[in-house]
Structure 1
Amino acid sequence: MTDDGAPDFEVPVGLFQDLEDLKAQVTALTAKVRALTGDAGPGEAFEDDETDAGVETDTGVETSDDEDDAWKFPPFILLLDPPVYDDELRALIEWVEGVLVPGYLAEPSADARWCHLWFEHPVAVARLHACWLAWQELTDPATCGCTGPSVWHRDHLDPCLRELRSSSGPFTGCTKGEHQINHRLPGLVPSAWTMEEQ
């Protein structure tokens, strides 16, 4: 490296510009994440001028409040109300019964439990829904490249099935001939799951 920080070998001029663009994008995205999560470090203020509607950020991309409003987090199924919950559950059942059960679940046993009425177990619905949302993202090469399915198996499917099918999982009281739903239901939904009225 020379004294001015430039490398000794030849580097295309555009590479340095690309790096500066990437740094600016990371800075803008970090500010946006902090603004969305309310996570400002000590003494830091949000840069509102970069996220105001119609203002060009240092990434060169114009943002608007409409774009932010259109983007939503994936729904957590246990927070949905009918009929949205019913539609989401119907789609989840199609995926579980059409993809997961025939492709990944062997015959249930004492070591690998399964309940054919899994959709009546809220814990199972929540875990399988999260696994399904990850599957939707990680099986699309446009969003995850070629390694997405491997990541999905390792980080989502395997832990999900381990928890659901374990001897202490939600299907503990369910056997081939019996279905027991009340053995794992909480009395109240934890307060952290409720949405505050604004």
Structure 2
Amino acid sequence: MPAEPDDPRLSVPVGMFEDIEDLKAQLAQLTALVKTLTEGADEQTESTDGPVEGEQTGNESEGEEAQYPPFILLLDSPEHDDELRGLIEWVEGVLVPGYLGEPSADAKWCHLWFEHTVAVARLHAAWLAWQELTDPASCGYTGPSVWHRDHLDPALRELRASAGPFAGCVKGEHRIEHRLPSVVPSAWTHAED
């Protein structure tokens, strides 16, 4: 017997279809990953001549390490310069035109942001997360939402806050010294009374 339009079995909460599509995409990704991993395991057990091509045996020289995204503040030149160049391209090409409105007293932005170490560190972390979370193959369709919530919004809140790294920068004037710690007087240097 076909269901009538007023049948309670047909009432579906709004947004459920999107959730189902996200779940289908995640299931397809996991299925593909399991298939890839099991095929690799089958090939490895069938091989008696050694490891599968490209596989590490654990005997590699200590110079060969797994590659992870670099934290920009730990890099030396020329790697630091290359990473900073890529970061500048992303900030000026994606972040500034897409997310930053006109700076104001409540939401400062310094056009020389790359001279503020704290800004470089925070923006670099947001950029690394953006690279990972905007790739549907690795994170599905929810990655951009996660990036906005967990990475972009907190980074911009901290950077543009009244006590953030741009606090001393006003329109036309750039100051980075305001964030440097001053010499703290020591109780040990005072003469005893």
Q: TM-score, normalised by structure 2?
A: 0.62
Q: Compute the RMSD of aligned alpha carbons.
A: 2.4
2:152 equivalent among 139, 152, 157: 157
The match for 2:89 is: 94
Aligned residues: 131
How far apart are 1:183 and its partner, in Å? 1.1
How far apart are 1:70 and its partner, in Å? 4.7
Greater radius of gyration (CA) = 2
Q: Tell me which stretches of 4 or more aligned residues in structure 1 moved more than 3 Å.
A: none
1:138 equivalent among 133, 139, 151: 133
Stretches of structure 2 that go unaligned for 5 or more consecutive residues are 1-33, 38-49, 183-193
Stretches of structure 1 that go unaligned for 5 or more consecutive residues are 1-21, 26-53, 57-61, 188-198
**Secondary structure of the structure 1 residue equivalent to 2:70:** coil
Q: Deviations over 1:142-180 (max 9, x none)?
A: 110110000000000000000000001000000112100
Q: Does 1:72 align with 2:67?
A: yes
How far apart are 1:71 and its partner, in Å? 2.0
Residue 162 of structure 2 aligns with an amino acid whose one-letter code is: S
**Secondary structure of the structure 2 residue equivalent to 1:183:** helix
Specify whether residues 105 and 80 from structure 1 end up closer, same or farther in structure 2 by C-alpha distance, changes over 3 A only.
same
Specify whether residues 89 and 181 from structure 1 end up closer, same or farther in structure 2 by C-alpha distance, changes over 3 A only.
same
Q: Does 1:103 align with 2:98?
A: yes
* CA–CA separation in structure 1 for the residues paired with 2:170 and 2:124: 23
Residue 127 of structure 1 aligns with an amino acid whose one-letter code is: R
**Secondary structure of the structure 1 residue equivalent to 2:154:** helix
* CA–CA separation in structure 1 for the residues paired with 2:154 and 2:73: 20
* CA–CA separation in structure 1 for the residues paired with 2:79 and 2:56: 30
Q: Does 1:127 align with 2:122?
A: yes
* CA–CA separation in structure 2 for the residues paired with 1:141 and 1:186: 42
* CA–CA separation in structure 2 for the residues paired with 1:103 and 1:131: 14
Q: Does 1:85 align with 2:60?
A: no
How far apart are 1:72 and its partner, in Å? 2.0
1:176 equivalent among 153, 171, 182: 171
Q: Deviations over 1:79-114 (max 9, x none)?
A: 111111111000000000000000000000011010
Which protein has greater RCO, CA pairs closer than 8 Å, 6+ apart? 2
* CA–CA separation in structure 2 for the residues paired with 1:182 and 1:75: 27
